[in-house]
Chain A
Amino acid sequence: MSAPRTTGGCSRALLAGAALIVPAGVAFAADAAVPVHYAMNAAQSRLEFTGTQAGAPFKGVFHAFTASIDFSPDALANSKFDVTITLASVDSEDKDRDGTMRGADVFDVAHFPSAHYVTHAITRTASGYAASGSLTLHGTTREVPIQFTFSSAGGGAKLLGTAQLKRLDFGVGQGDWKSTEWVKNEVNVAFNLALTPAH
């Protein structure tokens, strides 16, 4: 987890060549720069989703998730997020609804205990950053883009972002819950991660 990140295959040969003439650790070119590796401060981080049930929105959080974040604004090419979510930790402030979500017809945590998100590419946007990435949920992997902002704060950093996904793309909602009449297909995800540099 804390091993220094290597660069992509394309520039590896170039770097190998560069390594011959520059001592290790000396600054790379901007697109080959090594991002800062962060660990997540779980107590101050939040992963939240908003669904719509019977016409009214409801919020839920996942209490258990881990994020390994490699990010620097000047090293986007090598920046990467890797997030694992323990689905059984879902909490929508109602035990009946939480039980239903953990059950076979929704997340089916007995067979699919966790969800995994990993980014492919991160780009700068007018208001922050956008990332393409794939989410594996309920045994299905789909592309889910995210939008986020990054700010350094007191030695650490804050990552604030959102994503929109359709639960049925992942087969989340079987039987009764396949219908979108009473539980909408669209789910909004929001995250607020408190990061500390890890070495």
Chain B
Amino acid sequence: MTNATAPVRYSAAAQLFHWIIAALIVVQFSLAWTADDLPLGARKLALLAWHKSFGMTILMLAVARLLWRLAHAPPPLPAGMSKLERTLARISHATLYGLIFIMPLTGWMMSSAKNYSVSWFGLFTWPNLIARNETAFQILRSTHDALSVALLSIAVLHLLAALKHHFWNRDDVLVRMLPFRSARRP
């Protein structure tokens, strides 16, 4: 894939998708963890309403991001990476892509099963994906919880890998995803 015209940095659009979704995921974890400890009350409803609105935002961004990504090749990985490292990078990136779809979708289904429809910042209401069903709700909640642990773990790995590339390998893997910095040459 490497050729003279291959980009060396992620484009502005790719960076925007990456950082907005990353920031929203941090917000999502804070909202969910705070709400989890509360009894059903106005504060819990409020936190979960934000959580659902941001979750649906992530889902819409994920759709746009995937479409954009399919049309635009990312910059190639550094030449020095082993086959194993490349495979691991590819798997973790694909998994993260999958999770930014699956997390909102399981959340949306969970809300539907519990008959708490999902509003988008009070502007409109998303249709229920599945019918009201307590058993389905319990299963979906466990799934949503388990996947959140998976997402957190892979995101931490992703972050550690980027730092390892930057400080250990001293390549441009991290920098090319950062705005306002020129890529250092490998």
Interface residues of A (CB under 8 A from B): 53-58, 92-94, 96-97, 100, 176-177, 179, 181-183
Contact status A93-B132, CB under 8 Å:
yes
Q: Say yes or no: is B43 at the interface (Cβ < 8 Å to chain A).
A: yes
Q: What are the residues of chain B within 8 A of A176 when measuring CB–CB?
A: 41-43
Contact status B40-A100, CB under 8 Å:
yes
Choose from B41, B52, B115, B122 the contact partner of A92 (Cβ within 8 Å).
B115
Choose from B42, B48, B52 the contact partner of A177 (Cβ within 8 Å).
B42
Task: Enumerate the 10 nearest inter-chain pairs by beta-carbon distance, A residue then B residue, closest first.
Answer: A55-B119, A55-B122, A54-B49, A56-B117, A56-B119, A176-B42, A93-B115, A56-B125, A176-B41, A182-B45
Contact status A57-B117, CB under 8 Å:
yes
Contact status B42-A179, CB under 8 Å:
yes
Q: Could you name 18 residue pairs across A and B whose Cβ atoms are closer than 8 Å?
A: A54-B46, A54-B48, A54-B116, A55-B53, A55-B120, A55-B121, A55-B125, A56-B125, A57-B117, A92-B115, A94-B132, A96-B40, A97-B40, A97-B116, A100-B40, A176-B42, A182-B49, A183-B45
Q: Say yes or no: is B158 at the interface (Cβ < 8 Å to chain A).
A: no
Q: Say yes or no: is B114 at the interface (Cβ < 8 Å to chain A).
A: yes
Docked complex Cα distance between A176 and B132 (Å): 26
Q: How far is the CB of A172 from chain B (nearest CB, A)?
A: 14
Choose from A58, A100, A181, A183 the contact partner of B116 (Cβ within 8 Å).
A58
Contact status A182-B46, CB under 8 Å:
yes
Contact status B125-A182, CB under 8 Å:
no
Q: What are the residues of chain A within 8 A of B53 when measuring CB–CB?
A: 55
Contact status B42-A182, CB under 8 Å:
yes
Q: Say yes or no: is B118 at the interface (Cβ < 8 Å to chain A).
A: yes
Docked complex Cα distance between A176 and B44 (Å): 11
Q: What are the residues of chain B within 8 A of A182 when measuring CB–CB?
A: 42, 45-46, 49
Choose from A54, A57, A94 the contact partner of B45 (Cβ within 8 Å).
A54
Contact status A181-B115, CB under 8 Å:
no
